[in-house]
Amino acid sequence: MRLTRYLDKGASLGADRPCLVADDEILTYAQVQRLTYRVARGLVRAGVSAGEKVAILSGNDPVAFACVFGIARAGNVWCPVNPRNEVAENRFVLANFDCRALLFHSAYADMVRKMLPDLPALRVVICLDETLPFAQRLDDWLGDLPDTAFERGPVTDVAMLPGTGGTTGVPKGVMLTEQNLETMTALTLMSYPFDGRAVYLAFAPLTHAAGVLCLPVMTLGGKIVVMRHPDVGAFLATIERERVTHTFLPPTVIYMLLDHPQLPSTSLDSLQCFWYGAAPISVDRLAEALERIGPMAQLFGQTEAPMMVSTLAPADHFRPDGTIAVERLSSAGRPTPLVEVGIMDERGHLLPTGERGEIVVRGSLVMKGYYENPAATAEASAFGWHHTGDIGYLDADNFLFIVDRAKDMIITGGFNVYSIEVEQALLAHVDVRDCAVIGLPDEKWGERVVAVVQPRDGKRIDAAALVAFVKERIGSVKAPKQVEVWDDLPRSKVGKVSKPEVKARLRGDTAAG
């Protein structure tokens, strides 16, 4: 199923219904369709061949997202470029992913201007909303192209070429096929409640999870409300005003939501499914969210196996008697029906229930491979399974528990300590907003467990008391030997705490001291 079919399916259910909404701008399904026909014709006229990559660099913007489907209609591959990246990283993506055209918002004009001299293969450069010395405005570029139905057949099954996060080195291009996205969409629709016409609020960047979650909404003819600028107060007001049924936030923003003074007075009764994911969540704060927000729903995946490796639907957060299933809240849910999940040791042997090893995945959700990188593809698909790099286990009820990234495991005094377990204990403390746990070299222990904590607004952290608090919950071996208090934690472009940056800063502080 091509990307265009999700839009066309929604249009068949009501062409004049709102499709993309932002502030006072409303694009109906028919209007989005007509724009995509013109964008596709424009790419063909500009000499962009079928199968070539077309990048979009923009914040949350309905026209930018509509252009995704124009790229697909032209038989091209969509390359989402993260506007939060630095110039050098985006230059690398555009060059090494062989992008031939770039559509961008004027907010990133300075970045584009700096990149262009090093991108001779970029033949088409279009600004979505302004005329610039080095780029035509989209409306002028489209000119008098007709808005009648048009579609060029694809020459590849690759629909999307996102980059992996740059925290482990240079980004790798992940070749996601039409079948990958179709499987993800099917799993979303079968795993979560969708009652009536969905209204999806896109707070997080459409370049990431928020974008692909639009596809199942479109198949139902739903409305996508795009927040151009992230603001928690505006997010709450929009849920109430638009009667939002579905949305997605990472845990860090959910914590901000729970602390927001507007939350108690906001009507959230329209919500059917409030997705969370992309990073571990505090069990205590999740339980609070279930009571104060409503139908929370977890998803677990990665760029190489998007979104739906395992799911925890709203109902799964509760026991049959209606009480919160606290024992399940630290899990990533159960593996989805169209995905095989296993736990594997270093020799390629699958491990039995309850044993910890690397989480491996196979099925039609898994990427085709890394673009122009056969060595990395072979490494990630060793023994016939995709290797996630996460350590975890499956319990007797087939719930998947993620205990750490493989590279983040700490060996202290001969014991394996999984940072997520320590972080959950820290996050249970009432004064801790967020935290990161890493290992640093130690003459006595080999590695010592180090916790960096971000206090909640107006709170002070007593390091000794916090260590005692953790010892009571998980024992002295896993408790931090060192506690640092920072006003904020360094984060990746998608909001995850960047442990490499935390570790580098701590090592620098240690060397300086």
**Is the Cβ–Cβ distance between 392 and 401 less than 8 Å?**
yes
- 223 has pLDDT over 90: yes
Residue carrying structure tokens 């990533």 = 332
Q: pLDDT confidence of 71, banded at 50, 70, 90?
A: very high
C-alpha to C-alpha distance for 465 and 115, rounded to whole angstroms: 50
Q: What tens digit of pLDDT does each residue of 75-126 get?
A: 999 999 988 888 988 999 999 999 999 999 999 999 999 999 999 999 999 9
pLDDT value for 418: 79
pLDDT value for 403: 85
Q: pLDDT confidence of 511, banded at 50, 70, 90?
A: very low
To the nearest 10 degrees (0 to 180), the angle between helices 3-12 and 29-45 is 150
Q: pLDDT confidence of 205, banded at 50, 70, 90?
A: confident
State how far the alpha carbon of 477 is from the alpha carbons of 409, 445, 468, in Å.
14, 10, 12
What would the mean pLDDT of 28-37 be, rounded to a whole number?
A: 98
pLDDT value for 208: 67
Q: pLDDT confidence of 415, banded at 50, 70, 90?
A: confident
Q: What tens digit of pLDDT does each residue of 324-349 get?
A: 999 999 999 999 999 999 999 999 99
Domain 409-512 has CATH 3.40.50.300: no
pLDDT value for 494: 65
Residue carrying structure tokens 């309850």 = 354
State how far the alpha carbon of 139 is from the alpha carbons of 42, 130, 142, 149, in Å.
11, 9, 5, 18
What would the mean pLDDT of 3-27 be, rounded to a whole number?
A: 96
Sign of CA dihedral 310, 228, 17, 71: negative
Q: pLDDT confidence of 509, banded at 50, 70, 90?
A: low
* Residue from 267, 255, 78 nearest 158 by CA: 78
State how far the alpha carbon of 478 is from the alpha carbons of 23, 209, 390, 414, 503, in Å.
48, 33, 19, 12, 18
State the chain's mean pLDDT as an integer.
92
pLDDT value for 251: 86
- 394 has pLDDT over 50: yes
Identify the architecture of domain 30-176 in CATH.
3-Layer(aba) Sandwich (3.40)
Q: pLDDT confidence of 206, banded at 50, 70, 90?
A: confident
Q: Considering the chain, what percentage of its residues have pLDDT values greater than 70?
A: 97
Q: pLDDT confidence of 447, banded at 50, 70, 90?
A: confident
pLDDT value for 167: 44
The region of weakest confidence among 55-69, 157-171, 394-408 is 157-171
Delimiting residues of CATH 3.30.300.30 domain(s) in the chain: 409-512
Helical spans, DSSP H, in 243-301: 251-258, 283-292
pLDDT value for 209: 65
Tell me which H or E stretch contains 455. strand 446-455
Chain centroid, CA 451 distance in Å: 25
- 168 has pLDDT over 50: no
Q: In the structure encoding, which two tokens stand for residue 309, read together?
A: 């490796």
Domain 231-405 has CATH 3.30.300.30: no
**Is the Cβ–Cβ distance between 54 and 80 less than 8 Å?**
no
What would the mean pLDDT of 198-215 be, rounded to a whole number?
A: 86
Delimiting residues of CATH 3.40.50.12780 domain(s) in the chain: 30-176, 231-405
- 33 has pLDDT over 80: yes
Q: pLDDT confidence of 513, banded at 50, 70, 90?
A: very low
What would the mean pLDDT of 54-74 be, rounded to a whole number?
A: 96
Q: pLDDT confidence of 195, banded at 50, 70, 90?
A: very high
Q: What tens digit of pLDDT does each residue of 458-494 get?
A: 899 999 999 999 998 888 888 999 999 999 999 876 6
pLDDT value for 89: 86
